[in-house]
Amino acid sequence: MPFSPQPIPARTTSHRRPWSASLASTCALATLLLTGSSHLGAASAALMPPSAPSAPQPHGTLHEEILRLLDSSEALPREADWARLGPDVLSELLGLASNPKAPEPQRSRAIAAMAVVAHPEAALRLQELLRSTAQPSSVRAAATLALGRRAGLEAVPVLTPLLADPNEQVRATAARTLGRVGGAEVRKALEERLPVEESLAVREAIQQGLSYVEP
């Protein structure tokens, strides 16, 4: 279900559950979703694997440093690691995330890094990835998780329409991400979607999302 990008504040601190488990499993979740497996819950405990090397590209030191960070053994991108690279890092990460020739794990890690880069347009770029049905499920799933982490409660109006997305895997990811954001609005949206959702895997994801929301 397409929607227009909405301005989102650069950072909103959420009081809900830690995002480490979700973002650390971005690649594993993305791969699982892309294959259409119904065992979606298994991905939440998996670590994000290092990305595969990308093809040589005509960029200088900044591009090489970005690839080094993406290939790091760190499971979760850290804000401090990306802050020193400056504002140009966003366009580089977006280029990697949008490159269909780049390895899937590298694309997912680039999107996860967009959750922590210091750039006011990062949230809007993540929204563009979310609404692009031309992108594979893994990319849209990673963007869902990254936007939820970056914007917190401010992302709820953007992520809620994804509960009715034509792609089953995107719906499941949105349900879990919204659950981790939490709030009364999220609980209402998940409870309304549950009885009309036909996919068993997505229903399980909605129920898991509801379990994250505090009463």
In a domain, residue 114? The reply is yes
pLDDT for 34 equals 36
Mean pLDDT of all residues in 178-186: 95
| Token representation of residue 36 | 């259409």
Long-range contact list for 124-129, CB < 8 A, 24+ apart? 124/5, 124/7, 124/8, 125/90, 125/94, 126/150, 127/5, 127/6, 127/8, 127/158, 128/5, 129/97, 129/98
Mean pLDDT of all residues in 16-26: 48
Long-range contact list for 184-191, CB < 8 A, 24+ apart? 185/156, 185/160, 186/156, 186/160, 186/213, 187/213, 189/156, 189/160, 189/163, 190/163
Question: How many angstroms separate the CA atoms of 137 and 24, rounded?
Answer: 17
Range of the domain at 155: 20-37+56-212
Q: Are 110 and 70 in contact (CB under 8 A)?
A: yes
Would you say the C-alpha torsion 193, 175, 150, 132 has a positive or negative sign? negative
Highest mean pLDDT: which range of 4-8, 16-20, 21-25, 203-207:
203-207
Q: Are 75 and 24 in contact (CB under 8 A)?
A: yes
Percent of the chain scoring above 90 in pLDDT: 48
In a domain, residue 165? The reply is yes
Is the model's pTM score more than 0.85?
no
pLDDT for 73 equals 54
In a domain, residue 111? The reply is yes
In a domain, residue 169? The reply is yes
Q: pLDDT tens, 62-79?
A: 888 888 888 875 556 778
Mean pLDDT of all residues in 167-194: 95
- pLDDT exceeds cutoff 50 at 44: no
Where residue 136 sits, what CATH number does that domain have? 1.25.10.10
129 CB burial (10 A radius; 0-12, 13-18, 19+): buried
Terminal-to-terminal C-alpha distance of the chain: 29
- pLDDT exceeds cutoff 70 at 6: no
In a domain, residue 9? The reply is no
More confident residue, 74 or 109: 109
For residue 35, give the DSSP letter: H
Mean pLDDT of all residues in 29-45: 36
In a domain, residue 145? The reply is yes
In a domain, residue 131? The reply is yes
Question: How many angstroms separate the CA atoms of 134 and 202, rounded?
Answer: 21
In a domain, residue 4? The reply is no
Provide the pLDDT confidence category of residue 8 given band limits of 50, 70 and 90: low
Provide the number of structural domains found in the chain: 1
